[in-house]
Amino acid sequence: MTFYEQTPVPRPITILEPPISRPSDAPSATQSPIPIHPPRDTTPNDPKRTTISSPKPFPLPTLRLENRNLNHPASALLFTSINPATVLPDCLQNVLRLLYHTPSSHSFTPPPTRSVTLIFRDMDGVAYTTGTDLDHDHKEIHFNLNHISNVASRPNSPTRVRDEIIGVITHELVHCYQWDAKHTCPGGLIEGIADWVRLNCDLSPPHWKKEVDGAWDRGYQHTAYFLQYLEDIFGNSTIRHLNDHLRHHKYHQDSFWEEQFGLGVEELYEGYVQHHKEEERKNKKKQDDL
């Protein structure tokens, strides 16, 4: 079965309109359940609010929580900011919905993750995901308590702390459930997919912006915006299909992108760069006309 057997893939023109990680500052979020976009479903009472609309939830692994320093000042702040018993399952449902189809679909073929343990402790960096000593099917997400304290010391901290925690958790959960081309996928694409999920959960932080003056595989939000461009051009489920392709095949840059999009990644990225510059030009003209 080819990558786009059911839907022929259009070839983009020059300008087109329309997982161990240590993420940088994490995103802002909304109240649980965490909305996702797309698809965007509205409720009668609030047309701007987005909700999870799957007919039934995805099966979840065993979820565990561990705090290795209850005396840390961030510990009290952590548990007054979120309820892990609801936030962790909500985040994981969104991750699965964006990376896969429905729970009953034949294409629901995630990695065999049997448990996820969220561990808050003192360490360097922000967070990372790893397998356990038992086996790689049991995942651990390590989250730095000091980072929570640092966020709390910034302006607007009452709203940012909860948003930061949920954003980091979402990013790291992607690493528990994404495919990696049999351990050959470049790190920039791995991290880009994780931030693409974060972006489509409406969890992008205020400091994120599209920057096109570097390589496509810088990872994190830089690659996430490029992946969103591909999703916009080639249609919904593009990144789902890409993730599924990473399940079946080792990564070879010359063939990986050609097989799925009919173009090499550098040509695709050049289309994204030109599209972004055209959007900037239009926005500047609008500002000048005001």
> CA distances (Å), 51 to each of 41, 121, 129, in order?
6, 32, 27
Domain presence at residue 165? yes
Q: What is the CATH number of the domain that holds 216?
A: 1.10.390
Domain presence at residue 77? yes
pLDDT at residue 233 greater than cutoff 80 = yes
CB neighbours of 234 closer than 8 A, spacing ≥ 6?
A: 9, 10, 261
Beta strands in the chain (DSSP E): 62-67, 115-121, 127-131, 138-144
Type of residue numbered 60: L
d(CA 158, CA 152): 7
125-151 pLDDT tens trace = 999 999 988 788 999 999 999 999 999
Average of per-residue pLDDT across 169-190: 97
Render the burial of 31-53: b for 16+ CB within 10 Å, e for the rest. Answer: ebbbbbeeeeeeeeeeeeebeee
Phi, psi of 100 (to 5 degrees): -135, 180
110-124 pLDDT tens trace = 999 999 999 999 999
Residues 199 and 221: beta-carbon distance below 8 Å: yes
19-44 pLDDT tens trace = 445 434 433 333 334 444 444 333 33
Q: What is the share, in percent, of the chain residues with pLDDT greater than 70?
A: 80
Domain range for 276 is 62-289
Domain presence at residue 95? yes
d(CA 120, CA 86): 17
d(CA 21, CA 281): 34
Question: How does DSSP assign 118-184, residue by residue?
Answer: EEEE--SSSEEEEE-SS-TTEEEEEEEHHHHHHHHTSTTHHHHHHHHHHHHHHHHHHHHH---TTTT
Number of domains composing the chain: 1
Instruction: Give 262's pLDDT tier (boundaries 50, 70, 90).
Output: very high
Which residue matches tokens 């790291």? 172
What pTM was estimated for this model as a whole?
0.81
Domain presence at residue 48? no
- Return the bridge partners of 141, or none: 118, 129
What pLDDT shows up at residue 21? 55
pLDDT at residue 200 greater than cutoff 50 = yes
Domain presence at residue 4? no
Instruction: Output the six-digit token pair for 66.
Output: 């561990």
Phi, psi of 119 (to 5 degrees): -120, 120
Domain presence at residue 46? no
Residues 33 and 52: beta-carbon distance below 8 Å: yes
Domain presence at residue 27? no
Average pLDDT across the chain, whole number: 83
33-91 pLDDT tens trace = 444 444 433 333 433 333 444 447 999 999 999 999 999 999 999 999 999 999 999 99
Q: Which of 34-38, 99-103, 167-171 has the highest mean pLDDT?
A: 167-171
Residues 22 and 239: beta-carbon distance below 8 Å: no
Domain presence at residue 42? no
What's the sign of the alpha-carbon dihedral 143, 146, 147, 148? positive
